[in-house]
Structure 1
Amino acid sequence: MLKRIAVLFAVVGLSAVTAAPVEAHGRTPVDGTWEYFTEVLDVREVGCNTVLSLRESDEFAGDIVGTSNPDLGTSTVVLRCNGSTTFRGAIHFDEVTVDGRTGSMVLRAHGRLGAGETEWTGRWRIVRAWGGLEGLSGHGSWWGPGAGGPGLPGFLEYDGNVRINQHWRAADAPVSADL
């Protein structure tokens, strides 16, 4: 009987030690490259600002890997009176891979190119994820020279953190044998 109790405590203790990492909600650092092409859909003058509505095709590589669906995404570039330029966009991925899991997601980004500057800087945030990425969240920064204009390739780098859904880790945990 004592031997059974000792084995039970050993199994329970081992389960507690191996369960802790499985249920962790830690952030995972991500980085990589973001390349894109834009197509101008509309140009408007708003005061002394020029507003461009764009269709954008994006390709992420590195820790986030996928190609956007240009028919779903929207982006706006504003050429401001003071010489600076701003960007806001929603990038839709029908299929993207993060941390070895594949699903769909929407990433929002915004940024700025100061007057006389040559490097864009901005922020990104995952606002929705579903399928194999259900529950994924994340945010970070991006920077780089961007594109020389519509129809030309743009190049950026990104980094940040994603928070992995706890159920992903639980699905990867080894199954213990019944005693």
Structure 2
Amino acid sequence: METQIGLRVDGTRHTVRIDTRETLLDVLRERLGNTSPKKGCDHGQCGACTVLLDGRRVTTCLALAVSHDGAELTTAAGLASGAQLHPVQQAFVTHDAFQCGYCTPGQVCSAVGMLDEASRGWPSACTEPGELVRLSDAEIAERMSGNLCRCGAYVNIVAAIRQAAVDADAPDTP
């Protein structure tokens, strides 16, 4: 069965006719030509397809597009402002937080969403009960645990996120 949906992707409005069984990832990549989110595991386990959906991070391989008619999506490609990189993107470059780069768009989107969550005081599994959110390396690693890097660039990814948190005045390391 087909239907028509509207999406705003990286600031541009799209109207697209889709099969109701299509994932947001497939619509982004195959219908709209946005190859920023990557198809990794196709099971929501690697995070390569992570984008910001209405400001919150989501794995698009698990999201049916039909359920998100009218949504606002931001991919890693849409974070920059012209030639000015988003602070998380700049931190990834500065800290060499990528090797092959396949996971990088999902890592970057997840980091942007995670920093927003932390700035709102949302606890993670390793936040001590009753404590303020402090972005220690362990806290960052826990919050980013849904994004895998096949190359193992985790040390640099954590350093990049820590730097972006400081630059954004997000909760700091203790």
Bigger helix share: 2
Bin for the TM-score computed over the shorter chain: under 0.3
Q: TM-score, normalised by structure 2?
A: 0.23
Higher strand share goes to which structure? 1
Q: Normalized against structure 1, the TM-score is what? A: 0.22
